[in-house]
Structure 1
C-alpha cells in the first residue's frame, strides 16, 4: 500500500466496502440454521414449538368459524362430501402448523438454489474487489503540500460516504435474517387460518410475504452482480486532468454506482412485492 495519507484513506474506505461486499456474498447463501453458528435457530425452534400450542387452539377456532360461515345448516355438515372436505381441510391445516418450520426451510432452500444458479450463470462466484486505479495513485503521490489540501477534503468526504454505505448494505442483509427468524417463530399463528375457508387468505398472504423475504436474496445478488460488472470496468481516469479533478471524478462516479446498489438493496423487499403483486 502507498505511504501517502490520501491514498491510504481512500483505500481503507474501499477495503471496508470490499469486506462488507464479501460478507454479503457469503451471507446470502447461508441458511438460517447455520447463521451465527446455529444458536439463533435453536432459540427460534423453541419459540415455534411454544407458539404451536396457540396455533392449534386457533386452528379449532378458525375451523368452527369456517364451518359456520360455509355451511347454511347442520344438515349440510352431515353430507358426506361436505364432511370429507372439512375433515381434509382440518388435517392439512394441522399438518401445516406442526411441520411449518420444515416447510418454510424447504421454500428457503429452493430460493437459495435459485440464487446459486444466478451466481454460477453470471460467472461471478466471488465478490469483485474495488481498487484505486494506478494512474490516480501516482498522480496523488506526486502532489505537493498545497495541492494536496483540497484532495484531503475530497477523500475525507468520499471515504466517509463509502464507509457509511458499506454498513447500510450489511445491515440490510442482516435485517433479512431478522425477518426470516420472525416469520419462522410466529408461523403457527397465521398458518392456523388455513383451517377455515373464510380466513385462509391470511395464511396465503403469510406464505407470499415469506417467499418475498426469501427472494430478497436474489435481488441483492443481482444488484451486487451488476455493481461487480461496473467495478470490472472502472470509471475512466483523465490522466491529463489535475489530481483534484481526477480524484473527484473517480470518487463521484464510484459513489453514484454505490448509491444505486445500496438503493436497490434497500428496496429489494418492495421490488419483490411488486413482482408478486403483494
Structure 2
C-alpha cells in the first residue's frame, strides 16, 4: 500500500520520540533550575532573602518581645538578689564585691536582651560566610547538556512503537515525580527560612533568661538552636553537592537505568534535605 504503514509507523515513532525528548528536557530543566535556585537561596541571610519580612520580624521583636523580655529580666534579677542575700546569711556575711558582680550581671543581662536580635542575625551572617565558602568547593551545576539528551533519544530510534509508548509513559511518570520532589525541596528551603524568621522574632525572651543559672538553660538551648539552623544551610549545600556529583555519573546509553537512577538520586536528595534539620540539631545537642 505504497509504504503507508511504514510512513504511519515512522510518524508515530517521531511523535513518541518527540514526547520522550520533551519529557527528558522538562525533567532535567526542573531539577537543574531548582538546584541553582536552592544553592542561591541557602546562601542568603534573613535580610537578604526578603527585606520586608526581615523588617516586620524586627519590629515584632523591638515593639512586642523586648518589653516582655524586660519583665523577665526583672524577675530573674530579683530571684538572683534574693538568692544572693539568702546565701550570705541574711546580709550578715555580705561582701561588697558580690554586689559589684550583681551590678555587672544586671548590665550584661539587659545588654543581651536589648541586642538579642542583632546577635541572632550575626549567627546567620557567620552561617552565610560558611555556606559561601562551601559553595566555592561544592559544584552545584547539575546541568545535563542538550547533546546528552539527544544522544539518549538517538538510542531509542531502533525500538518499535510499543516499546516507545512504554518509555514515554515511564518518562512522564518520572517527570511528574521529579516535579513533586522539586516542590518538596522548595518547601524545605523556604520552611527553614520561615523557621529562622519565627525563631529570631522572639530572640529577646531566651536571652533575658541568661542571667540566672536555672533559667539560663532556656537561653543556652535557644542559642544552640540558632547555630543548628545556620549549620543546616551548610548541610543543604553538601546534599546539593552530592546530588550533582551523582547526576553527572548517569549513563545515557540505557534509558531505563538512566531514568530510575535520576529518580533515585532525586528522591535521595529530597530525603537528605528533609533530614538535614534533624542532623544539625543532633550535632548541636538541641531540642
**Deviates most, 257-266 or 72-81:** 72-81
Which residue of 2 is the match for residue 127 of structure 1?
Answer: 141
Unaligned regions of 5+ residues in structure 2, if any? 1-14
Which residue of 1 is the match for residue 125 of structure 2?
Answer: 109
Picking from 197, 206, 212, the partner of 1:181 is 197
Which residue of 2 is the match for residue 259 of structure 1?
Answer: 267
Distance 1:100 1:77, change over 3 A: farther
Which residue of 1 is the match for residue 214 of structure 2?
Answer: 198
Distance 1:76 1:89, change over 3 A: farther
Distance 1:75 1:120, change over 3 A: same
TM-score by length of 2: 0.86
Deviation at 1:183, TM superposition (A): 1.3
Which residue of 1 is the match for residue 167 of structure 2?
Answer: 151
For 1:74 and 1:232, how far apart are their aligned partners in 2?
73
Query: How many residue pairs end up in the alignment?
Result: 266
Partners of 2:46 and 2:196 within 8 A in 1: yes
**Deviates most, 268-277 or 199-208:** 268-277
SS class of match (2:155): helix
Which residue of 1 is the match for residue 109 of structure 2?
Answer: 93
SS class of match (1:267): helix
Calculate the aligned-residue CA RMSD, in Å: 2.1
**Deviates most, 211-220 or 108-117:** 108-117
- Spell out, residue by residue over 1:29-81, the C-alpha distance to the aligned partner (whole angstroms, 9 max, x if none): 11111223x11011011101121011111111122223334543441794223
Determine which structure has more spread, i.e. the larger CA radius of gyration.
2
Which residue of 1 is the match for residue 59 of structure 2?
Answer: 46
- Spell out, residue by residue over 1:129-187, the C-alpha distance to the aligned partner (whole angstroms, 9 max, x if none): 14554432212355443222211221121111111111111110101110110111111
SS class of match (2:251): coil
| 2:170 equivalent to 1:162 | no
Partners of 1:64 and 1:196 within 8 A in 2: no
SS class of match (2:34): helix
TM-score by length of 1: 0.88
SS class of match (1:56): helix
Partners of 2:38 and 2:186 within 8 A in 1: yes
